A and B are shown apart, each in its own frame.
Chain A
Amino acid sequence: MLASLARELRFLGKDRGAVGWLALALALSIIAVSFGVVEVREQRATIASLLKEDAADRASALEGHAEWGSAAYYAFHLTYAPPSEFAFAAMGQRDSVPWKHRVRMLALEGQIHEADTRNADFGMVGRFDYAFLVASIAPLLLILLLYDLRASERTANRHELLVATAGAPRRLWFPRALVRVATLALLLLAPLWVAAIIEGASFGVLTQASGLVVAALLVWWAITELISRIKAPSSILLTALIGIWLALAIVVPALSKSSIELANPVPDGGEILLLQRETVNDAWDLPKEATMEPFVAQHPELAEYSRIEGAWAWKWYYAFQQVGDQTAAPLVAQYRAARIARDDQAGLVALLSPASFVERAFERLARTDALSLITYEDSVRNFHGDLRAFYYPLMFPEAPYDEALLNDLPAYVPPS
């Protein structure tokens, strides 16, 4: 076996076409991880500088207030989801779903849907990252490496002779294909390993990712092997394989995506904003009790401070901001549930398409999948809740303003 592998490796070195495809795989893998590492570092640098500027801005915004309400009105807080150590391999949803916000204690629904995403062309065309390489391009390279193993020998009229001298056909074709698949896997994986070590990705994540790469190649090898047993000219085999690739990597994902989205409609985002906005604005013209009652229902501990004297009070202002969020909450919950339902079903249907499966699995390892970004949004909601929990006990009993207490303002901690 070893001898035949060594022989096939020698043959491979002489096959100019195959060496070309393999070189391309290595080059693409290096390019993909390099761009990924650069992008992740840029995002980290952005977050670092945002944190600094955000702190400076808040410090100055918190100066010279006399009331809790106005301090809370002017102080913004940065929230963000830092890229994980493995994000260089799959930027995933980070290109189309926002991963940083600046929020303050006003109604959250008016703030959390702000989209601070990059150039729209980027989100539309998509980036060349490692996950895309492994999920979509690598199968094509594998097909091109393997499709005419048999057929080329047939064309050269050596096929029958080779099969006859090899004894069992398996002893001939298996080492030949194995050498090619293994070399391709190694060339794809080596840059990933280097980048993962540089970025400090955990061993577990790297092992799973490597396993995914190998498994994806094995699946496509099996498909190629089945097709290339057909006794047909190699151009027909290649056409058939490209057709299968097209179906599995493009058509099935696209059809599944459309049908999942049809089956799970999300509420129109504009409705969430509109509802929240109308509630907040209507409150100005309603009797104060109309705001304070639903507010106290959520915060019974503040009931004794909920009587509003006069035409204006900060606590009334923040109460109707919260009531705005409360009114929109059912729609928001629907929106969130529909996103999760879509993602769950996409996870199931991805079993039909190796390309979708691999890309989604990489995104999950890199924590750049839809669920991770929903987790980030949840953390923003929790933090906003912390802000309210900090200010309400000061604002409602109308505790005397004390700037020193603002040192204990909750700090945002990104989800880990």
Chain B
Amino acid sequence: MSRTIRIAHEEWRLWSRSKVVIAAALIVAVLLAGTSFLTIQRISAEQAQRADQQIAAEKTFFTQPDRHPHRMVHYGHYAFRPPPPLAMFEPGVDAVTGQSIFLEGHRQNTAMFADTKAAADMGGFAALTPASLYQLLLPLLLIVLGHAMFLRERESGTLAVMLAQGQTGVKLALGKATALLSVIIIFMLPLVLVAAYALSLGESALAVITLVGGYFIYLCVWGAIVLAASILLRQRAVSLGVLIFVWLFAALLVPRLAINFSGAVIDAPGKIESDLIMLAEQRELGDGHNAADPAFQQLQAEVLEQYGVETIEDLPINWRGVVASYSEAELTDLLNSYAEQRMELEARQSRLFGLFGLASPTIAISTSSRALAGTDLATHHRFLRESEALRFDFVQALNQAHAEQLGYTADINRNVDAASSQRARINAASWQVLDEFRFAPDPASVRLDRAVLTLGILFAWLLLMVGIVLVSARQVRL
């Protein structure tokens, strides 16, 4: 054991003498600290802002004056998605999706005003987040530090001496691995700090620990790749070149190619496209604004029979409210079935993308990391579903008030003059039907479930690479 530490210590001594290593480590450390600081600031501001906006939206809704209930259906409401605590580390898809959505009757709107729409376009990978630094930059640092750590002994002839002294390749590799591991642990610190901060904000310990553990495994995979290359290859320039290629492939090429591929294999139609197909169906359902539409004849017969009356004027409830409620339910079923299809296709694309983790550990960690932080596509979809449920509930509650609190005669005469328009209003107390909406991340166990496959792939990477290191270290000859 002490021999392992001695070898590791020797490695540290050499690193501390190398200007290149020190410069690289300092740059990465500064970038990490700066990016973490900026991202934490930005996300905390957004958290506070969205929570305020949600409360303000509810307050405005509640304080609307007496009105015709259908006016409130179109007045609508907003749902906001505040970023979860771990978004300070991994903002994920939030910048692309837009985080507020307008809710109104008869329509499912999209989330609007994504940050990327107004972003300054600097090309390629212009958005640096703490997570992307860990995914892209730290492997590169490990490569710079470690590409020659084993083969240096070979180049300088010390390997022969050590082997002759009874050292084995495996012991030597263990020492080198310890040195790299200590670097990894040091560079895990910013993540651990951010994670602890998230924990203090109420993030679950399970999610935080798994996230930190996932990145630790990821960096260990790279450490093992670097060590394997320095054992197997004979020249440091070759080793560095090969490692840069592996990095280029795993961190830059495969993720983007996987996006192209999963988009080409699974075609997920856009909203306009599926809306148009749906509209043809919708026309057959009838228009909820027009209670005389033939599509409502059957409903009318049923309701009249239920109340044992002859005409809609004799009903104890407002027929127009009944129609509005009926058609909203029908339409929502239809809208939801198309929305679900669209989301399912997108989710399949993303699952296919996640499988490319088999070709690149970077995909495995980034997919896991978004899932664990609660900033993945699945969370966005849940936001869409929950805000849709909120929309349907308040619209239907208003339609119920329309049916029960507003007389039919007053309703159909609402446009005769100013006085009749006043009579076709209901008390503002009815607006209290709106539910409070606070979007929260999934429970940690659910997020973990979503990340388990890609974390498994990451772990398989670790086993594979450690195996390769051990096998090649055992076979070290001169």
Given known A-B contacts A233-B236, A246-B140, A310-B417, A118 and B263 have beta carbons under 8 A apart:
yes
Given known A-B contacts A120-B97, A124-B96, A132-B256, A257 and B124 have beta carbons under 8 A apart:
no
Closest to B113 in A: A269
A121 touches B244 (CB 8 A): no
- Pick out which of these stretches binds chain A: B71-79, B192-200, B448-456, B461-469: B71-79
What number of residue pairs across chains A and B have CB atoms under 8 A from each other?
A: 270
A346 interface hit (Cβ, 8 Å):
yes
A155 touches B277 (CB 8 A): no
Residues from chain B with a CB closer than 8 A to the CB of A128 are: 253, 256-257, 259-260
A363 touches B121 (CB 8 A): yes
B118 interface hit (Cβ, 8 Å):
yes
Given known A-B contacts A233-B236, A253-B122, A97 and B109 have beta carbons under 8 A apart:
no
B164 interface hit (Cβ, 8 Å):
no
B276 interface hit (Cβ, 8 Å):
yes
B442 interface hit (Cβ, 8 Å):
no
CB proximity of A291 to chain B, nearest CB, Å: 15
B368 interface hit (Cβ, 8 Å):
no
B93 contact from A46, A121, A233, Cβ within 8 A? A121
B416 interface hit (Cβ, 8 Å):
yes
CB proximity of B365 to chain A, nearest CB, Å: 13
B-contacting residues, A31-75, CB 8 Å:
31, 35, 38-39, 42, 46, 49-50, 53-54, 56-57, 60-61
B474 interface hit (Cβ, 8 Å):
no
B51 interface hit (Cβ, 8 Å):
no
A251 interface hit (Cβ, 8 Å):
yes
A115 touches B120 (CB 8 A): no
A360 touches B118 (CB 8 A): no
Given known A-B contacts A120-B380, A121-B93, A115 and B75 have beta carbons under 8 A apart:
no
Given known A-B contacts A39-B263, A235-B148, A356-B122, A96 and B114 have beta carbons under 8 A apart:
yes
A356 touches B248 (CB 8 A): no
B259 touches A122 (CB 8 A): yes
B96 touches A359 (CB 8 A): no
Residues from chain A with a CB closer than 8 A to the CB of B113 are: 113, 268-270
B172 interface hit (Cβ, 8 Å):
no
Closest to B270 in A: A116
CA of A169 to CA of B123, assembled, Å: 38
A306 interface hit (Cβ, 8 Å):
no
Residues from chain A with a CB closer than 8 A to the CB of B276 are: 50, 53-54, 57, 102
A311 touches B127 (CB 8 A): no
CA of A187 to CA of B128, assembled, Å: 31
A84 interface hit (Cβ, 8 Å):
no
A101 touches B126 (CB 8 A): no
B236 touches A235 (CB 8 A): yes
A257 touches B119 (CB 8 A): yes
CA of A97 to CA of B244, assembled, Å: 33
Residue-wise, chain A 271-291 has the 8 Å CB interface mask toward B (1 for contact) of 001100100010011000000
Residues from chain B with a CB closer than 8 A to the CB of A260 are: 120
A201 interface hit (Cβ, 8 Å):
no
A119 touches B377 (CB 8 A): yes
A312 contact from B114, B136, B137, B415, Cβ within 8 A? B415
A115 touches B98 (CB 8 A): yes
CB proximity of B59 to chain A, nearest CB, Å: 13
Given known A-B contacts A78-B272, A115-B112, A240 and B20 have beta carbons under 8 A apart:
yes
Scoring A60, A101, A250, A266 by chain B CB atoms within 10 A of each residue's CB, the highest score goes to A250
Closest to B64 in A: A281
B-contacting residues, A87-104, CB 8 Å:
92-93, 96-98, 100-102
Residue-wise, chain B 201-245 has the 8 Å CB interface mask toward A (1 for contact) of 000000000000000000000000000000000011111110011
B240 touches A136 (CB 8 A): no
Given known A-B contacts A144-B241, A270-B53, A310-B416, A254 and B268 have beta carbons under 8 A apart:
no
- Pick out which of these stretches binds chain A: B309-317, B320-328, B346-354, B400-408: B346-354
Closest to A255 in B: B128
B116 interface hit (Cβ, 8 Å):
yes
CB proximity of A120 to chain B, nearest CB, Å: 4
B237 touches A132 (CB 8 A): no
B277 touches A311 (CB 8 A): no
Residues from chain B with a CB closer than 8 A to the CB of A96 are: 96, 114, 116-117, 119
A249 interface hit (Cβ, 8 Å):
yes
Residues from chain B with a CB closer than 8 A to the CB of A233 are: 236-237
A17 interface hit (Cβ, 8 Å):
yes
Residues from chain B with a CB closer than 8 A to the CB of A54 are: 276
Residue-wise, chain A 112-145 has the 8 Å CB interface mask toward B (1 for contact) of 0111111111111111100110011100100010
Residues from chain A with a CB closer than 8 A to the CB of B121 are: 92-93, 343, 346, 360, 363, 369-370
Residues from chain B with a CB closer than 8 A to the CB of A28 are: 253
A250 touches B125 (CB 8 A): yes
A-contacting residues, B342-365, CB 8 Å:
346, 349-350, 353
Residues from chain A with a CB closer than 8 A to the CB of B257 are: 31, 128
CA of A251 to CA of B128, assembled, Å: 8
A345 interface hit (Cβ, 8 Å):
yes
A349 interface hit (Cβ, 8 Å):
yes
CB proximity of B130 to chain A, nearest CB, Å: 12
Residues from chain B with a CB closer than 8 A to the CB of A39 are: 260, 263-264
B-contacting residues, A233-250, CB 8 Å:
233-236, 238-240, 242-243, 246, 249-250
Residues from chain B with a CB closer than 8 A to the CB of A264 are: 120
Given known A-B contacts A254-B127, A270-B100, A343-B120, A119 and B144 have beta carbons under 8 A apart:
no
A148 touches B415 (CB 8 A): no
CA of A128 to CA of B110, assembled, Å: 26
B-contacting residues, A346-388, CB 8 Å:
346, 349-350, 353, 355-356, 358-360, 363, 369-370
Residues from chain B with a CB closer than 8 A to the CB of A17 are: 238, 241
Closest to A31 in B: B257
A50 touches B273 (CB 8 A): yes
A342 touches B120 (CB 8 A): yes
B31 interface hit (Cβ, 8 Å):
yes
A332 interface hit (Cβ, 8 Å):
no
A239 touches B240 (CB 8 A): yes
CA of A39 to CA of B267, assembled, Å: 11
A46 contact from B136, B238, B273, B377, Cβ within 8 A? B273
Given known A-B contacts A35-B260, A121-B349, A235-B236, A256 and B417 have beta carbons under 8 A apart:
no
CB proximity of B131 to chain A, nearest CB, Å: 11
B377 touches A120 (CB 8 A): yes
B178 interface hit (Cβ, 8 Å):
no
A125 touches B259 (CB 8 A): yes
Ordered by A's residue number, 17 sampled pairs between the chains whose C-beta atoms are within 8 Å are A31-B257, A57-B279, A92-B121, A115-B98, A117-B96, A117-B270, A118-B270, A119-B263, A125-B258, A148-B237, A235-B236, A238-B240, A239-B240, A285-B67, A310-B417, A343-B121, A355-B124
Other than the given A31-B260, A269-B113, A277-B76, 4 more pairs (CB < 8 A) read A135-B123, A235-B237, A236-B20, A339-B118
The 3 closest A-B pairs by CB, nearest first: A269-B113, A359-B123, A128-B256
